[in-house]
Structure 1
Amino acid sequence: MNRFPVQVHAARDSHLSRWLWLVKWFLLIPHYVILLGLWTAFAVVTLMAYVSVVFTGRYPPAIFAFDVGVLRWSWRVNYYGYQALGTDRYPPFTLADVADYPARLQIDPPTRLPRWLPLAAWLFAVPHLLLVAALTGPTTWKFGDGTGSAAPLGAVSLGLLIAGISLLFTGRYPRGLYDLMLGIARWSLRTIAYLALLTDRYPPFRLDQGDDEPGPGPVGPAADADHRSLPSSPLHTGGPVEVVSP
């Protein structure tokens, strides 16, 4: 089964406001303030989980639930706001899953993690971090002789600017652009989840675009490798396995 443990789902509103995207930054200020504290706590408790994995091979369930909740809350805020602009429904203030909200995230908990993974996950994740940074991070474009003004235009910011202008003047959000934004967001969340050891499955190098995750079964030529029984590492793309730590 080619099912990645980090499941990111969305359901775009059939009708989006032409102008609301212009003020969502203001409406989301309460969420941004709370998420600042939550992400600080996320960093602290994830370090505690790293220590637990090194000594026991297990991820504390309470920390797992909290970390997944922070990612879930962030995904709802970003889907409403400036990572997708996919809904005009204001995100709820909760770490819990909200079944009827248009943006949802679920992560299958790992049964047992290799004790060495906390020491190497960050290194394995470097290629993904570079690619995600290239897609999501702003690229500064300078005009004139290089001493004039500069505008930060990354792939996501530029794509959402185009989407916003399209909404403003036509009331439509180009479907292909929306699918691309979802693919980038999904890749980012998979990478963060791997770094936080919420899964030991190495993220795939692909943009799974659109609202839903790819279904079970082979997806392209690389699918054959997904069914091999390999240790948890960047080469392991199969299902969850239990690894006996040395």
Structure 2
Amino acid sequence: MKTTVIAFANQKGGVAKTTTVAELGDILSQHLGKKVLMVDMDPQSSLTQIRGDLPQLTRSAVPNMTQVMLRKASIREAIVPIKENLWLAPTTLELSDAELSLVQMTLRELVLRDALKTLMEDPDFHFDYILIDCPPSRGLLTVNALSAADEVVIPVQAEYQALLGRQLVKNTISQVQSQINKNLKIYGYVVTMTQHTLQSNEAYQVLEDDSIQILQTFPGRLKSPMPA
């Protein structure tokens, strides 16, 4: 069975992107029995803190995504088990330094793609899904994730700034599609952090107005829960 690689991206932080990755990883692995690898590509290490042991990782000499992106270790060496059917390729704040070093590398946009390709060719490792948590930026780490992915999910908080972030990440996706990964598809949008308040209902109206364009461009792809 082919591994599906999904990147989760938005230019704006604080839209529950990492939480979406963590919860989806749990659902796929624990409730649906799928083998899932979560890859933390955000130097803020939020996914690693939620699902891993960041203090122990920081103290240990075990490779993480920093070494993988610097081509000093394989991603196989970085993978740690979390629970049944669920694994994590963690990271630390040092990944931000690695991003600066990527600028000097050849084929710098394809480091993660090559690492995952080698992993998926290894008969000792099989994952049904690889979920990549991207940083809230349009830098080389995000470009690497989009270059390696089959699909991208865009978490969108129901407020104006997050919608602007959605447009910026769409621009990045378009560039990656045209120049690096023509097979990359936008799977859909996950609307997050909605509540029954006047403020959030006003923001939700903004989202509904903006959704006209989303639905026309990607019919049936807007994942929009009712306000909680």
Pick the TM interval, shorter chain.
Answer: under 0.3
Q: TM-score of the superposition, structure 2-length normalised?
A: 0.24
Given the two structures, how large is their TM-score scaled by the length of structure 1? Answer: 0.23
Question: Which structure carries more strand by proportion?
Answer: 2
Please say which structure displays the higher CA radius of gyration: 1
